[in-house]
Amino acid sequence: MQLSPISPVQTGPADDKSIGRIVSVTGSKAIVMLDDIADVRSCEPWQRPEMGTLLAIEQPNTVVLAIVSALSVPVPAQRDGESEIRIAELGLVGELKRLGEGKTGPFSRGVANYPSLGDRVRVASNAELEGAFCGDTKSSVRVGTLRQDPTIPAMVRVDELLGKHVAVLGTTGTGKSCSTALILRAILQKNPAAHIVLLDPHNEYAPAFGEAAEVISPRNMQLPFWLLTFEEAVEVLFSDVRARKAEIDILQELIPLCKSRYALGRKESQNLRRISLNPGRFTVDTPVPYRISDLLAMIDERMGKLENKRDLQPYRQLRMAIDTISQDARYAFMFGSLTVYDGMAQILGRIFRVPVNNKPITILELTGLPTEIVNVVVSVLCRMTFDFALWSEGKVPVTLVCEEAHRYVPANPALGFEPCKRAIAKIAKEGRKYGASLCIVTQRPAEVDPTILSQCNTLFALRMSNDRDQEIVQSAVSDTGSGMLEFLPALGQREAIAFGDGVPLPVRIKFDELPKAALPRSSTARFSERWQASVGDEGFLEQIVERWRSAGTGSGGDTTQQVALFAEAMGLTSSPQPELAPQSAVRSEAAQVQRGPQEERPVLRQREQLEAALARPVAPPTAQRTAVCAGRHGPAPPTFAGNAPRGPRPGRHLDARAASGRERAQTTARPADAAVRPGEIGRAAASCAAPGAAVRRT
């Protein structure tokens, strides 16, 4: 991650580039009457100041700096060549101390020596620009160049930038992701032992950091269920919380008991045993492990003691909800561990990079998580960020970068997940005291909670065209640089207006360009490129369907349990089946077969036997055909082979069975060592079983 070095600027005495004189001073504002120019079109560029240009006003011991906030001609000339009054409105922003011999000292905000009427105003020199924007190089990093003078680097002060929170705002496609990646790369280059956590909802930031990032995705994420607070756990289990009050009350009572039971059984953890001796020390929100099996056992125990059957309903529904979630493959990162152990320290170390191990940033890729619990996962991570900073007593400052922040902290109180909003708001309001900082990235500032946005003391505003978004940014900017916001709809690519404590002055900057290999993945579809040729892969649609179904049901294909149940319903098994392997084992064995001939395994033999049985054009027994393949149209016809003569058409389902028979007859040509393609057995089952057919589950 090498950034281009800062170009040295020659310093020296300021050139006399006077452009006008002060005619009015009011508080932090001043009005300048610009000098009359015979031919504006032939004058030097510095003689025509623009909006945002930095001007200098000489004082006895200081140089007052001011930003052009408005330009006007009150009485325009009637003819070309006639003189006219040109007015520039200035915002006084700070001053540089004179050191003699044309040198100036460090820049300081605020004005102690106000200019007087008649004082001459000139364009700030290169030395003054450099003194204002590049004064503190020890804790500052370069992110680009000044729009006023491209030879002057644009620097941001890391301590002020992160210590008081920052926001990157801009319309879709303006370069928010690239700008965010550039700023973070610059910070990491100068601070290799940083601790940054980036929430990446589109899986786009990993290429920008390469090996310097610890990338956590649903495939390798470990976020045990016992780390959830009670409110987060309820959100995971129940979609309609208001209708589940009885189940929630039961859960609130049993979870502390499960935590105490686990702690009493852990001899190696003296801390947990000591706390467990006091039952009141464990609450539903204490981050202490407990077992789902203990929770289910307690529910069963309570159900056995109830005499009134009507009271069993809440317990049954709670048990069903826990069973459903804990066995869903999409929630494997939360419930998939075979054993429960106290690994909280390891989880914190991996997320917050303690020790750093040359990976100072953690990227949490959220694409692939079940949509219904993304907010819960973000809530857990934000809450852990604040608590980690709090209990580490500020020794490990952490920065949380929240991409697409309007999803998690919406301005509408009826939207979003309340614990997630509270966790982020807590970092925004109190995190600075404990070393927890926040970086908000969003394309819709108007849809972000204004309480959160108001806590960001540094803003990088990229191009915006929406009036509401511009109003939100306007309300967060002081009057001194508010005139520069008029540029927002007209900013170019990689251009931004920076305000706040992270930059010395409100300034229009152009971000440095990232190397091509370090660009975040673009999520913008290239229609003109993709529409040049048709997709020719025959398996393309099958892959889409399988991914679609896997995301919707949590199944990565046919499981062994599904195979066994279907085989039993078809009458293909007459002897007890061996113990079924877990789903992960089935996937692993299937992958091995696809790679090449391997040692035979019982699970795959079972699949092959079932596939061969389905391929035989033999009619199943009458009783089984009636029970399994008969739908609302009655028993199936006596012939089942694909080449059977076609009889009357009692319904479309019989034609579907005939078509499926022809497909199975063609499968007899499959090589003996060919791999079973994922989903084939499921499709065979779907084609054979008519609507209304019942598959018995044990």
Express each pLDDT in 646-677 by its tens digit: 444 344 343 444 444 444 444 444 444 444 44
* Residue at token pair 């054993």: 339
Q: Which long-range contacts (CB under 8 A, 24 or more apart) does 545-554 make?
A: 545/679, 546/678, 546/679, 550/329, 551/330, 551/368, 554/328, 554/329, 554/330, 554/331
Counted residue by residue, the chain has a size of 698
Distance CA 92, CA 70 (A): 13
Look at the alpha carbons of 598, 600, 606, 611 in this order and tell me if their dihedral is positive or negative.
positive
Can you give the pLDDT at residue 102? 66
CA distance 612 to 222: 40
Number of CB atoms found within 10 A of residue 336's CB: 16
pLDDT at site 680: 44
| pLDDT on residue 209 | 95
The Cα–Cα gap between 504 and 499 comes to 8
* CA pair distance 321, 340, nearest whole angstrom: 20
In this predicted structure, the answer to whether residue 206 has a pLDDT above a threshold of 90 is yes
Instruction: Give rounded-to-5 percent helix, strand, coil for the chain.
Output: 45, 15, 40
pLDDT at residue number 628: 38
Looking up tokens 């300034």 gives: 507
* pTM for the full predicted model: 0.72
Q: Which candidate, 28, 178, 175, 19, places its Cα nearest to that of 91?
A: 28
pLDDT per position as a tens digit, 359-417: 999 999 998 888 888 989 999 999 999 999 999 988 999 999 999 999 999 998 888 88
Query: Do residues 398 and 385 touch, judged by C-beta distance below 8 A?
Result: yes
Q: What is the pLDDT of residue 49?
A: 81
Q: Please, is 398 exposed, middle or buried when counting C-beta atoms within 10 Å of its C-beta (0-12, 13-18, 19+)?
A: buried
* CA 212 from centre of chain: 18
Strand partners, 509: 146, 496
Please, what is the Cα angle at 292 between 290 and 297, to 5 degrees?
A: 110
Residue holding tokens 């160049």? Answer: 145
Mean pLDDT of all residues belonging to the chain: 76
The lowest-confidence range among 63-77, 120-134, 611-625 is 611-625
- Closest Cα partner for 363 from 399, 406, 417? 399
Element (H, E) at 316: helix 312-326
Sequence-distant (≥ 6) Cβ neighbours of residue 484 within 8 angstroms: 51, 52, 67, 69, 497, 506, 508
Structure tokens at 460: 């990088």
